[in-house]
Structure 1
Amino acid sequence: MDKRVQFDFEIKFTNGGGIQGQGFRLDIDSDDISDQQLIDYLVQDMQLLMVEQVKISNKEIITEPHKRISVSASAENERLIDVSHTIDTELITLKGFPAPIVCDYLSREESRTRYAPGTEFHIAKIEMIANTGTYLDTPFHRYEHGKDLSEVSLTSMADLDGIVIRADYRKSLAIDRSFFEGKELRGRAVLIHTGWDHYWRTDQYFENHPYVTADAARYLVECGVKLVGIDAVNIDDTSGQERPVHSQLLHSEILIVEHLRGLEQLPEQGFRFSALPPKFKGVGTFPVRAIAILP
């Protein structure tokens, strides 16, 4: 069985004030841990500054399954899983919006006249709407004065601790707060696996799709998540004109990734998630290469 340590602590700061904790529990890798190791962990994990004194008391080693799942691993043992769709000239991502146009700006044949014999290049020209393929929404997508792609922090969309919420569309289209309750969500990328990507590139994909409810969005905001993704055409119910989930999440600077794929490949926890778009000024949405990193 795994070992955990239970203890009380009292921390005093050099500029006055302090914090206390009772019955705090922590996963440990061995059968014991010193007071100094606990102090070092608290200061580092809580990112505390100007710590004057830390006291550990009532320390007890208990046998209990670990609550945290370690996602640290060496690069050679990591596995990368692509959870984004491929973009091509026939892709209709949103009903009524155009497919991208991909053509030559400089063809290989034309480039041969510009370079030495045997040297050629290809430069493509791409025309598309920003909401194409698997894409990320920033606050500017919904709010005029919200942060755009050039302003959102990398810490909001890269190397995030991930959790998958299973919400099979065959059982329920409405994903309410009950799907998220009792889960460790704070600071995480919450990826909702509905299985709706099964209908990708079909007319069914656009109609009667799974969605997150407004009440669930409020709960996600309260829990302090970093990002919410879904493998469906929209995170909101599109049967009407209101978009309460976009409104609440983006108002709280919680980013959204729509049109994910392949989330059945991921465990419920124990992975890192990234979805990085180009750094465009004045743009609120753009395609991403969304990846999960598994140890």
Structure 2
Amino acid sequence: MEFIDLTHSIVETMPVYPGTEPPDIVEANSIDQHGFREKKISFYSHTGTHVDAPAHVFKGGRTLDDFPIDSFQGKAAVYTHKSDAKTIEVNHLRTIDTELKAADFLLIATGWDRYWGEDKYFRNFPVLSLEAVHWLEQFKLKGVGLDVISADPVDAAELVVHFALLQQNILIFENLKNLIRIPATLCNFTGLPLSIAAGDGSPIRAFAAVEQVDPC
């Protein structure tokens, strides 16, 4: 089994969604002064590689603790977006129709994580069309994972893709990395959040596991 880390590290200098604050990480205790080391960390619930729950955009929506633990793990179909199109349409996703039928998650690999830390990361990244989102409803997915900062453009007037997915209780995993490195169209995906009571979202530790093929 090959494991691929899909998680950006949490550091004070990391990119954050416009309008939020970066993490504040303080050495609260040191070995020299206290005999042990401990950090005090403050961050928004949608910092870095994270998951969105329906409560993120809906009053009374399901929170993270309303989802059983197996909601954050399962088979994932991997779609690699090789087109220059900034909207991912149904015809793109039909290329992995067979994998989607066997999957709990859809991971969309655009390679946009290569711009992590650059201004370009926030602009013109590919997003799903509403038609594609509604087409995905037939597969009863647990979640959709993205290697971009948001399921909607940062300058969008309304979070239409967020609303469409989360209304169906399809979790959204954002700011993943290394999706482009997954060497298969089907893998095992894990994206475990912190156990936050009534959580609207949480940073996660995400990784993919792929069966290794013995060389001929």
TM-score normalized by the length of structure 2: 0.90
**Distance of 1:132 and 1:280 partners within structure 2:** 14
Per the TM alignment, residue 109 of structure 1 is displaced from its structure 2 partner at its CA by 2.5
Task: Tell me which residue corresponds to 1:167.
Answer: 81
SS in 1 for 2:64: coil
Per the TM alignment, residue 102 of structure 1 is displaced from its structure 2 partner at its CA by 0.6
Say whether 1:96 aligns with 2:19: yes
Per the TM alignment, residue 107 of structure 1 is displaced from its structure 2 partner at its CA by 2.2
Say whether 1:230 aligns with 2:143: no
Task: Tell me which residue corresponds to 1:176.
Answer: 89
SS in 1 for 2:85: coil
**Distance of 2:62 and 2:32 partners within structure 1:** 42
**Distance of 1:237 and 1:91 partners within structure 2:** 19
SS in 2 for 1:288: strand
State percent identity of aligned pairs.
29
**Distance of 1:222 and 1:242 partners within structure 2:** 24
Q: Structure 1 residues 247 and 226, CA, compared in 2 at 3 Å: closer, same or farther?
A: same
**Distance of 2:180 and 2:15 partners within structure 1:** 23
SS in 1 for 2:120: helix
- Contact kept? 2:123, 2:153, Cα under 8 Å: no
**Distance of 2:156 and 2:63 partners within structure 1:** 26
Higher helix share: 2
- Contact kept? 2:184, 2:210, Cα under 8 Å: no
Segments of structure 1 that go 5 or more residues without pairing to the other structure are 1-77, 112-119
Say whether 1:262 aligns with 2:178: yes
Task: Tell me which residue corresponds to 1:271.
Answer: 187
Say whether 1:126 aligns with 2:55: no
Task: Tell me which residue corresponds to 1:21.
Answer: none
Select 2:2's aligned residue among 51, 71, 79: 79
Say whether 1:145 aligns with 2:60: yes
**Distance of 1:267 and 1:138 partners within structure 2:** 28
**Distance of 2:19 and 2:56 partners within structure 1:** 19
**Distance of 1:176 and 1:81 partners within structure 2:** 27
Say whether 1:289 aligns with 2:205: yes
- The amino acid that maps onto 1:237 is P
**Distance of 1:206 and 1:97 partners within structure 2:** 14
Task: Tell me which residue corresponds to 2:214.
Answer: none
- The amino acid that maps onto 1:173 is K
Select the structure with the greater relative contact order (CA < 8 A; seq sep ≥ 6).
2
Task: Tell me which residue corresponds to 1:46.
Answer: none
**Distance of 1:143 and 1:263 partners within structure 2:** 29
Per the TM alignment, residue 136 of structure 1 is displaced from its structure 2 partner at its CA by 0.5
- The amino acid that maps onto 1:94 is Y
**Distance of 2:27 and 2:153 partners within structure 1:** 38
Select 1:192's aligned residue among 108, 127, 133: 108
- Contact kept? 2:78, 2:186, Cα under 8 Å: no
SS in 1 for 2:145: strand
Per the TM alignment, residue 82 of structure 1 is displaced from its structure 2 partner at its CA by 0.3
Q: Structure 1 residues 244 and 171, CA, compared in 2 at 3 Å: closer, same or farther?
A: same
- Contact kept? 2:109, 2:146, Cα under 8 Å: yes
**Distance of 1:96 and 1:144 partners within structure 2:** 21
SS in 2 for 1:81: strand
Bigger radius of gyration: 1
**Distance of 2:207 and 2:179 partners within structure 1:** 10
**Distance of 2:110 and 2:210 partners within structure 1:** 21
CA RMSD of aligned residues (A): 1.6
